[in-house]
Amino acid sequence: MSVIVVIAESSPFTGRLRRIAKQEVVGLRPSFSEHGLNSMLSRLNQISLVVITEDVPLEDVPDLADTVLDNAPEVPIVMVRDKADVVPEEAKAAGVWEVLDSSASDLDIERLLTRFHEEIEAEVVAPVEPPVLEAKPLDQGQHRVIVVVSPKGGVGKTTTAINLAVALSHRAPLQTVVVDYDAQFGDVASMLNVSPKHTIDEAFGDNAVHTNLVVKGLMSTFDRRLLVLPGSESPAAMEKVSSPQAAQLIRQLSEDYSYVVVDTGSGLTDEALAALEVATDVVFVTTMDVSAVKALRRSADLLDRLELLPANRSLIVNMADPGTGLTTEDIGAAMRMPVDATIPRSTEVVLSVNVGKPLAQAKSSSPFMAAIDLIVRKVAGEEKRSRGGLFRRFS
């Protein structure tokens, strides 16, 4: 599905377009550096129309249009202006097709969108995608179950889990599964922009787990490589599932699939603990604030006492902001394990989630992807797997 990009400071036009357009509308700020704008535009799938709103100074339009056309040659660019009836010469020269009056009615906007949409659809020939080559499956003894954990909500667990899964699926197409074990607010499918026909609760019968063949039928596919076991829409749906059943599903999947990535809800939920029973790897995610680090430390201690801490552990500090008073070293010391990667807060990450296109799919180079690559290499045994030797039980 193509997207409409609106370049605006704070014009109400963005909201109007979101309301009227049947496509996704992505808003970008003109004040981003050219590099930032470039990187965002290059991440957007198919762009069908770019709208530059009336609050963007006219003198900035030619440069913006240039940046747009570098990324999406021939995309129609429309400018919104107060009292506009002609396209200024410089804007026309820069590639602006037409000017829309800022007082245009919803109907005018709808007509414009339909017109451009039809023109673009007529031109687009569906690209022929190369077949996905199946990789040789890992020996069963090498299969990995990676559980992404954090006691605090909103720290980036799901973002990490889906990107890790997408990256692993490039190594092991159709042998990588991402499991949504956030029973309350599971959003793996929506972050991947997948519309599931089935959800994970259907994998469980009365006191039993359906066979892998049945479970496979419940999975959606992302990018023809990654299998997705989506969370249920209803938080109550997983209540019928016992902890042994929840562990059994992951155990069963790990028999057939090389990589099973499990996203969990915040806190040490029953599903998270069940997955950890089977896990080979755990990825802890925290933000850079004292309460998040303390909570993670307590969770790690508890897992250690419960003997649920897998031998291979990674620690990601996400949305790192300088000036919080905490340093990466402080966090490593508090967690008594090294920080594997520090990811700055970045609009690139937010945008990739908003448009359902994980950074790992675009194979971009960014601090976020560097962190994901590192975890992938650790999981695959190419990087020294830190065994968190400072934890009591493993020291």
Give me the least distance between CB of 250 and Mg ion, in Å please.
17
Binding mask of the shown chain, residues 124 to 143, with x at each position contacting Mg ion by CB under 5 A: --------------------
Stretch near Mg ion under the rule CB under 5 A, chosen from 129-137, 158-166, 252-260, 286-294: 158-166
Contact segment (CB under 6 A) with ligand ATP among 51-59, 64-72, 75-83, 345-353 equals 345-353
Q: For the CA atoms of the chain, what is the radius of gyration?
A: 24
Give the tokens for residue 349: 């990450």
Q: Which is nearer to ligand ATP, 266 or 312 (CB)?
A: 266
Look at residues 248, 283, 264 and name the one whose alpha carbon lies nearest to residue 167.
Answer: 283
The yes or no reply on residue 376 touching ligand ATP (CB under 6 A) is no
Give CA–CA dist 255/131, Å, rounded.
26
Residues with Cβ < 8 Å from 6, sequence gap 6 or more? 13, 14, 17, 25, 26, 27, 28, 50, 51, 52, 53
Q: Is 158 in the site for Mg ion (CB under 5 A)?
A: yes
Residue 275 touching ligand ATP (CB under 6 A) = no
Q: Does 154 bind ligand ATP (CB under 6 A)?
A: yes
Q: Any contact of residue 349 with ligand ATP (CB under 6 A)?
A: yes
| Joined tokens for residue 170 | 């490039």
- 3-state DSSP assignment of residue 311: coil
Pick the piece of the chain touching ligand ATP (CB under 6 A) from 31-39, 60-68, 70-78, 151-159. Answer: 151-159
Position 157 contacts ligand ATP (CB under 6 A): yes
From first CA to last CA, the distance across the chain in angstroms is 52
DSSP structure string for 93-127:
HHTEEEEEETT--HHHHHHHHHHHHHHHHHHPPPP
Question: Closer to ligand ATP at the Cβ: 265 or 388?
Answer: 265
Q: Could you tell me which stretch among 42-50, 79-87, 157-165, 220-228 binds Mg ion (CB under 5 A)?
A: 157-165
Closest CB to ligand ATP among residues 153, 205: 153
What's the rounded Cα separation, in Å, for the pair 7 and 265? 35
Contact partner at residue 86 from Mg ion, ligand ATP, none, CB < 5 to 8 Å by partner kind: none
Q: Which two tokens stand for residue 68?
A: 């747009």
Cβ distance to Mg ion smaller for residue 189 or 331: 189
* Under rule CB under 6 A, residue 179 binds ligand ATP: no
Residue 284, SS3 per DSSP: strand
10 Å CB burial of residue 170 (0-12, 13-18, 19+) is middle
Nearest by Cα to 328 from 363, 293, 277: 293
Task: Return residues touching Mg ion (CB under 5 A).
Answer: 157-158
Task: Return residues touching ligand ATP (CB under 6 A).
Answer: 150, 153-159, 182, 185, 266, 318-319, 343, 345-346, 349-350, 353, 368
